Structure 1
Amino acid sequence: MVNFNGNIVANNTNFLNEENRALKYGDALFETIRVVNNKVFFWESHYLRLMASMRILRMEIPMNFTMEFLQEEIEKLIAENNQQPKALRVRMTVFRNNGGLYTPSDNNVSYIIETKELQNPFYVLNDAPYEVELYKDFYVNSGLLSTLKSTNKVLHVLAGIFAEENNYQNCLLVNDKKNVIEATNGNLFLVKGNTIKTPPITEGCLNGVLRQQLIEIINKTEELELVEEAISPFEIQKADELFLTNVISGIIPVSKYRKKSFTSTVAKQLVGKLNAKARLQA
């Protein structure tokens, strides 16, 4: 079952048509949210990012789109699917209503909420080999639109296909300044000694919710220093550790990039702090 504008409908129900602007123009945003035992992780951060993104895209924000209302809509679907005690991946998609060509005739929005069960209620590190490579066929623009979680992800799709065809677990994306900014599905953190570096939002990386949480954790950890600076491809091979982050998987340690192998010492230290923060905010 899915939640479409407050109505619970079966997964195979045809409730969208060829006029849908998300389909025609990628005129939509989405939030991917982790829910465990009916508790929404980092909900305030997700909500604030969604509202800010809707404003940037000049979408009309409905008066009832409060934190409480949207959380209730998520919980309503979870209850309908009998998934209250489960660990879930919840996706909320908000799209501009039908009408117009490139210029919309209506700035009001609709939404869809979907749920999918996850295996583990906690963030855990995967010890399996995780090799990455640069994807350089196309570049991410280092502008504000690139930081939004929009449905316009063709570059990320192509990078994912490249990784699969070449037996990599993921690809690192490069911006128009030739700096490394993120992976296909998460933000990037580089560890050298006690310094952890991550690209600033001005580089065009996604304004990730887990990125925000991890920056707060690192800034409160005395033995670690967080730096938001551009990362060149040459720095990667000099790093001690490299890891990716997103709200579903948590921290994903990279084990290999070309001839360079990485440790995961700092990642193991941070994952416990991340789980503790998630439980407090849920």
Structure 2
Amino acid sequence: MPGGRLSHQERRAIAAGLSDGLGYAEIARQLDRPTSTISREVARNGGGRGYRADHAHYATSSRARRGRRQTPQAPNDTDEYAERFAAVMVDGGIPRMAARVLARLYTAESRSLTAAQLVNALQVSPASISKAIGYLEQVGMLHREPDPRRRLQHYVMAEDVWQQAWKSSSRTNLNWAETAAEGAELFGPDSPAGRRLAQMADFFGALGDDMSGGPGFDILDDALTVLAAYREGGRVIEADRVAAVLGWPVDRVKTALELAAATRLTPEQRADLATAAE
């Protein structure tokens, strides 16, 4: 019937018609099929001289089975959210495929995913996943863990993933500032190029310093250092005591505590910070 899948008998009729020298239109008329159906069938399966009915039938059945295996599942709410989440990260400057991988890791039920799981979830090639993983490893946002039972690599998102992203952005801005400053010196401060590059160096230098807490002062590392030193012998110690242990000004310790308090902490850690801030 017109529009349905060609049967084995119809394919034999096509082969017979080609052997008798009939054109596509005449074969189509005899089978009550569109001419385009006949022409596509012959073109996909060896052409007018190489068409074989049995081979065409089994090859088409094989393609149909592969297509059913590879048909992706309809997206659910979780999939749609992961893609929207990835789109937000792309707007923030993360490469698209790296953002999609990171969104899947964030929304996965397990703490890690394999390359095969990511390929299946995102319906992309293994090469695309490998490139995205390489980028995320380079900026410290995930790492690999070998499977103890199989020859697989599990990709695990870093616990401090957004701190790593922040520090990477800070380093990038400072690198831009340094390169622009070199250019300003090369072209000279009175040249148009030198003035533009000097302005760029000032802007990205200030931005990088702000993101890292000021020259030589990494506020994120400060927060982690304070949290690590915050308990002594199982008990909470005061901010001035932490400052004395670390050799820091008390204000620096309090600033780090404020940043740490703004992160995702356990109730016990929040209680500790509240005690120290008093």
TM-score exceeds 0.5: no
Q: Which has the higher contact order (CA 8 A, sep 6+)?
A: 1
TM-score (norm 1): 0.23
Bigger strand share: 1
Bigger helix share: 2
